[in-house]
């Protein structure tokens, strides 16, 4: 009996230590994450470990490697905007203003870039910054970049925007975000040409790179040969196709767009997973892919016309991924995320992997606030 008593005490001690290690436990009998508090911790770590205050951009990793990579800067700004919208804390707005200065300087004192998809991410983040702050510098820059992006369209391969200025391929990653941008610009400012751009980009991508039977989004088509890269299917291309369909559904109200988004979502959560957790797509560029999917998947979840069964299933998928990341895959107390959401990273992690984890945690905080998790 005495031995059993000590075993019980030891068990309580282990449980207490595990819960003490996590500063955002809800304190209920069932272990429950406070996603708003988790998002606070995530945002604090992003700025504390990755922000380069001297040059006003985000470093490559949490160990101070200051290599400048252009397109992750857009998603880092998005994460700061997420935190600002959630908290209303003007500290985050200050970082947005600094980012605007520093990233432009590091990119050669311009937001123009060799890669059209990279410019699209920057323009989307700038537009969100304008929505959040109503500061015209963000809007003006977004519109300027949109002007650069439109030059990437040609009638080769039936239409579509090229991946980069070498103009050899037309990719899902250079058309999905462009469609989202055009659709959002139309919804903000009412320019009919932007709506037409969104429609023609979407229709091209759907006809060339989307498998309507399976929901898979293929990576690219080679302009010269016409070969479609059907064996490259990534979460971020799935996500931006979903985002495009959702935006056009918002504009036109046609159910077909929502159906397209559901097909792409179902493919992703059924095929691009490892035991129901979004699979690791590596570090570097691939580290960002899952977070991009999560951002637009979350937009789909919030659609009022989404079928109740699909909504419930998608929320359960999100919860399982987020709880796995937070309880198994987060290095605490430093709050660092890696490419595999089941496993904690080592002492250093990259900006892209950190951002994907941050986007998942922020998405859960948003859904929690909107009472989708009940």
pLDDT digits (tens, 9 = 90+) for 344-355: 999 999 999 999
**Weakest-pLDDT range from 31-40, 95-104, 196-205, 235-244:** 31-40
Residues pairing with 350 in the sheet = 61
Mean pLDDT of the chain: 93
Q: In this predicted structure, what is the pLDDT of residue 20?
A: 34
**Weakest-pLDDT range from 1-10, 50-59, 153-162, 228-237:** 1-10
Give the pLDDT band (50/70/90) at residue 24: very low
What does the alpha-carbon distance between residue 247 and residue 269 come to, in Å, rounded to a whole number? 21
Q: In this predicted structure, what is the pLDDT of residue 25?
A: 41
Averaged over 280-297, what is the pLDDT? 98
| Per-residue exposure over 217-237, b if at least 16 CB sit within 10 Å of its own CB, e if not | bbbbbebeeeebeeeebbbbb
Averaged over 297-324, what is the pLDDT? 98
The continuous run of DSSP H or E covering 337 comes out as strand 336-337
Share of the chain above pLDDT 90, in %: 91
Give the architecture-level CATH label for domain 41-369.
Answer: Alpha/alpha barrel (1.50)
pLDDT at 142 over 50: yes
Q: In this predicted structure, what is the pLDDT of residue 31?
A: 59
**Two tokens, residue 50:** 């990755």
Residues 6+ apart with CB under 8 A from 16: none
Residues 6+ apart with CB under 8 A from 146: 123, 181, 182, 185
Query: Where in the chain are the domains?
Result: 41-369
Sign (positive/negative) of CA torsion 319, 320, 325, 327? Answer: positive
Residue 209 Rama label (left phi>0; alpha psi -120 to 50; beta): alpha
- Residue 105 exposed, middle or buried by CB count within 10 Å (0-12, 13-18, 19+): middle
Give the pLDDT band (50/70/90) at residue 8: very low
- Residue 255 exposed, middle or buried by CB count within 10 Å (0-12, 13-18, 19+): exposed
Averaged over 42-70, what is the pLDDT? 98
**Two tokens, residue 24:** 């955002």
pLDDT at 322 over 80: yes
Q: In this predicted structure, what is the pLDDT of residue 2?
A: 31
Give the pLDDT band (50/70/90) at residue 215: very high
């Amino acid at each position: 009996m005495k031995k059993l008593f000590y075993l019980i005490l030891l068990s309580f001690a282990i449980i207490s230590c595990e819960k003490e290690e996590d500063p955002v436990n809800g304190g209920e009998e069932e272990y429950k994450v406070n996603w708003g508090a988790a998002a606070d911790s995530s945002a604090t770590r992003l700025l504390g470990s990755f922000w380069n205050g001297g040059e006003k951009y985000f470093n490559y990793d949490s160990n101070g490697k200051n290599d400048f990579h252009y397109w992750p800067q857009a998603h880092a700004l998005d994460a700061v905007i997420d935190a600002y919208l959630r908290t209303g804390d003007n500290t985050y707005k200050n970082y947005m203003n600094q980012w605007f200065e520093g990233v432009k300087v590091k990119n050669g004192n311009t937001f123009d870039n060799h890669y059209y998809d990279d410019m699209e991410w920057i323009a989307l983040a700038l537009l969100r910054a304008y929505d959040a702050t109503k500061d015209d510098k963000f809007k003006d820059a977004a519109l300027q970049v949109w002007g650069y992006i439109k030059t990437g369209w040609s009638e080769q391969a039936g239409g579509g925007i090229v991946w980069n200025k070498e103009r050899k391929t037309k990719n899902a990653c250079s058309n999905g975000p462009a469609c989202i941008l055009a659709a959002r610009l139309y919804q903000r400012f009412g320019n009919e040409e932007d709506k037409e751009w969104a429609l023609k980009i979407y229709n091209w991508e759907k006809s060339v790179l989307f498998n309507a039977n399976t929901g898979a989004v293929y990576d690219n088509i080679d302009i010269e040969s016409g070969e479609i890269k059907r064996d490259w299917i990534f979460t971020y291309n799935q996500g931006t196709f979903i985002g495009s369909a959702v935006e056009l559904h918002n504009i036109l109200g046609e159910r077909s767009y929502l159906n397209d988004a559901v097909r792409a979502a179902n493919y992703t959560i059924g095929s691009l997973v490892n035991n129901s957790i979004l699979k690791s797509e590596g570090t570097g560029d691939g580290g960002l892919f899952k977070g991009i999917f999560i951002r637009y998947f979350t937009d789909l979840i919030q659609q009022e016309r989404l079928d109740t069964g699909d909504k419930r299933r998608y929320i359960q998928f999100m919860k399982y991924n987020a709880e796995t990341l937070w309880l198994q895959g987060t290095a605490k107390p430093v709050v660092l995320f890696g490419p595999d959401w089941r496993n904690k990273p080592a002492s250093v992690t990259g900006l892209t992997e950190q951002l994907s984890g941050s986007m998942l945690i922020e998405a859960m905080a948003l859904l929690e606030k909107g009472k989708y998790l009940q």
